[in-house]
Structure 1
Amino acid sequence: MLILDILFKPLNYLSKIVDSINHLVGIAVAWLTVLMVINVFIVVVLRYVFSIGFVWLQELYVWSHAAVFLLGA
């Protein structure tokens, strides 16, 4: 058992590092999703209530949506 403990100790450490990175990316994706929903809400209100449209706002939610899918995968 001592040999297995020596062999698996670095793998266990690597697993903990990967898990912590995965957790941080999950938190970032969750907040990015919240910001994306707020962005879409602002775009819809500006377009249909005030008849104002900004292309950069629409592009922002398209690219943030892509980032959510890429990071969440």
Structure 2
Amino acid sequence: MGVGRLIVAGGETSGAVVGALGVTGLVIGPEISPGVPWTWTLGTPRPLALALKSGNFGSRDFFLDAWERLP
């Protein structure tokens, strides 16, 4: 069955994850916190929901908020 959703923190880490998955684009979804939306991958065998948070975005409770807003 596999993983269908990932929450990733850190700009460098987010870039590495997206690259390793072979993502060619992202569809923007609902906002988790200002500047940080849920996204869906393009170019992967099946769509994967990603929350990609750089160090400068997201609230203190980002991970809880993201989990509660899982698509």
**TM-score between both structures, scaled by the size of structure 2:** 0.28
Q: Whose Rg is larger?
A: 1
Choose between structure 1 and 2: higher strand proportion: 2
Choose between structure 1 and 2: higher helix proportion: 1
**TM-score between both structures, scaled by the size of structure 1:** 0.27
